[in-house]
Structure 1
């Protein structure tokens, strides 16, 4: 593992040095790390081949998702959300479930060798979006703030919302495959969900109040609040693992509770959760390296017309039709609906879910098509959304930006290596 860590560190350093120059060419962190993983970590020819089945890899992947779920959830500005809840609520409450359903049906129809459980896994794993892959859109002040805020909130919450569905699908698939030691699908996953929610609510709320109270009394050293937030994120994840709960839901709910309970008069939540977010971003670069090293070669080896067809459908109809249905009646024009629908790139959460499927199921003869279609869709998304961001933003801004209401006060996108 040490050679991989050494190479990965040097690649991250090189990207950091050239990041602004590369961003001008639409070359993001995920692109650089994925390419480096493919060239250097590929087991077929790479000088530092990566073993995706290693326990350290599993821990890296799981902790990355937990940290990002916590930081994403904690950054949701509830007062702002309440003032402009319409579009995000429709995207998450109508568009997201419809995307999961449509994606599941498409997977079941296109891949005869997939069980319904694995089809559900594909539909759910490819439903969440990643703002890091459309940072150029979310941070461009020519795009109206209402649109940027909707895309940012959607990407911050949809991975946490679909996580229980992914966990349920994997548990059901494991039961169907006869894996020993797996609990009985729905009952076990439901109990894990309840335990995870309880741990997240209690730990997130209590830690926020403790840190706030101690800060008011001057008990907290410089940087102590950030360390406390990091401890809350990791602790919720680890405690749920120990007590048999869903660790990802625990981290997500802990972030929601922490962000809601931490008083803004003590410090801005964005500042307090900066450390878990930064650590999550660093680990995310490692996950993108794993994606290039393990998932991309596997996907290219098992690519088929059905896989390519599903990837294209996932980025277009399966994403854009539910968005159009969800936003019907909001008064948004067709171009804005299409803009929001297109900029739903698939990214880190989908990669993590694919690696978790390999960890929990491990039978490539059965789970291989599901892993392949997730990897191909993410790879196509990284390329297509990266190339199209600049031109589409310029075109959209000519008719909707520069003077649109609130067009200069949008949210800061979560980077995740972008």
Structure 2
């Protein structure tokens, strides 16, 4: 397809998505399913107007998916309820770390025992498929600051953390495959990739978010008043925190999520928010307050709320582009028993088992556990990890097989979860 054709296609999809937003919300399918359908029709599966070699284009796709996940993780962090409560976060912490590790173990066993992959490749595909997606799962995640629904909070918080918590297992898989420049094994992996990189990421993210919140608040409180370009500042925080964390060999995804959390928590503490108030300063209220001078507004301006709308627009654009490209990356060769078997095993066995085991003896209801066990949406994060592994030296044959498995799993997840999200959530909230 020519550049002009791409402009027309993307523009038409954006127009259709924007104009039909209300109608899509009522229908039993998601916008991701529509983008995927267009990609499949235009791609090699049907018309063959364009195709994407995921292995060959791995460097480009790694960058695109990296940016998309970073923006989505920051947005998820900003939407977390205020104030922070360990009791409320504990189920999500267990899902993001314990359940994720169980999922990696189960997928590794399936990959080695059923598909015949070596241990390193089994761990690698387990880590690639383990994280739930913060980009494609917006229908089952927190939609705005102040959303107090326990299910949405649990799934959003899990997705915000497990994109970072899966990284140590990616490195372990690469290390076991012999790529020591990318991954460690043994005590070195335990100490550096798992403990240091995770703890440092959380610390750097919290410090960066809290520091920016304090600085922005002080600037706005000075006389004469200072204008703060919140959209630009939010993107700057993502870039600085991610860059600094990566430079220190820690997990940048985890750091960006906690930077968003700390930014919002600190801003609302400085604003004097009541300790028991769970949702504050929704984007609509903040923009309404922006129409008057800051000193006259009843709603204090914050970087987190002001920049959130812009970040969500970027999320929608990245979802459209990447899912469309995903449809053009799948071929008939990818639809084999190995890929479909992994997809069914992950969605019907590994995800439910890992959630039930991870939340055992927790304060969550059985209904919430069942919903969380099903809505483990896979998507852009898995594509990022796949491209990361390919770019660190996977041999062509293994890279192609893992690509086929990942693409099919993501596509099955988009369709299965997209069809079921509206009826299941409606029944969940009605009951």
Q: Which bin holds the TM-score, normalised by the shorter protein?
A: 0.7 to 0.9
User: CA, structure 1 residues 331+251, in 2 after alignment: closer, same or farther (shift >3 Å)?
Assistant: closer
Equivalent residue number for residue 360 of structure 1: 392
Aligned partner of 1:221 in structure 2 is 227
Correspondence for 1:104 among 104, 108, 120: 108
Change (3 A) 1:117 1:31: same
* Alpha-carbon displacement from aligned partner over 1:320-345 (angstroms, at most 9, x marks no partner): 11222233234655444322211222
Counterpart position of 1:31: 33
Change (3 A) 1:150 1:253: closer
Alignment of 1:139-178 (within 5 A): 145-170=149-174, 172-173=176-177, 175=179
Deviation of 1:365 after TM superposition, in Å, equals 0.6
Rate the CA distance shift 1:36–1:234 in 2: closer, same or farther, 3 A. farther
Which residue number in structure 2 is paired with residue 47 of structure 1? Answer: 49
What do residues 288-307 of structure 1 show as CA deviations (whole Å, max 9, x unaligned)? 1221121x22xx41332232
User: Paired residue for 1:343?
Assistant: 375
Separation in 2 of the partners of 1:241 and 1:318? Answer: 30
Q: Which residue does 2:336 correspond to in 1?
A: 304
- Give the match for residue 185 of structure 1: 184
Inter-partner Cα distance in structure 2 for 1:362 and 1:212:
47
Q: How does 1:248-327 map to 2 (within 5 A)?
A: 248-264=253-269, 265=271, 266-267=300-301, 270-274=304-308, 275-294=310-329, 296-297=330-331, 300-327=332-359
- Per-residue CA distance 1:191-227 (angstroms, 9 max, x = gap): 87687667645544433322222122265426x1232
In 2, distance between residues paired with 1:333 and 1:206? 37
Matched-pair contact (CA < 8 Å) for 2:172–2:184: yes
Task: Compute the displacement of 1:255 (Å).
Answer: 3.2
Shift in alpha-carbon separation, 1:3–1:203, aligned structure 2, 3 A: farther
Q: Provide structure 1 residue ranges, at least 5 long, that are not aligned to the other structure.
A: 177-181, 401-418
* Structure 2 counterpart of 1:380, from 412, 417, 424: 412
TM-score for the superposition, normalised by structure 1:
0.78
CA RMSD of aligned residues (A): 3.5
Report the secondary structure of 2:179's partner residue: helix
| 8 and 147 in structure 1: CA distance in 2 versus 1, 3 angstrom threshold | same
Q: Once the 2 structures are TM-superposed, how far is the Cα of residue 229 of structure 1 from its aligned partner?
A: 1.0
Contact 1:124-1:166 at 8 Å conserved across structures: yes
Alpha-carbon distance, 1:175 to partner: 1.0
Q: Which moved more, 1:117-126 or 1:247-256?
A: 247-256
The answer for the alignment partner of 1:16 in structure 2 is: 18
Consecutive unaligned residues of structure 2, counting only runs of 5 or more, are 272-299
Distance 2:176 2:6 in 1: 35
CA distance in 2 between partners of 1:287 and 1:25 (Å): 22
* CA distance in 2 between partners of 1:162 and 1:234 (Å): 21
Question: Using the alignment, how far apart are the partners of 1:198 and 1:81 within structure 2?
Answer: 17
Q: For 2:304 and 2:212, locate their aligned partners in 1 and report how far apart those are by CA, in whole Å.
A: 16
Contact 1:193 1:245 in 2 (8 A): yes
Shift of 1:384: 1.3
Partner of 1:123: 126
> Equivalents in 2 of 1:175, 1:210: separation in Å?
42
Deviates more, 1:43-52 or 1:210-219: 43-52
What is the DSSP-based 3-state SS (H/G/I as helix, E as strand, rest coil) of the residue aligned with 1:211?
helix
For 2:255 and 2:138, the matched residues in 1 are separated by 27
**Structure 1 residues 167, 209: CA separation in 2 closer, same or farther (over 3 Å shift)?**
farther
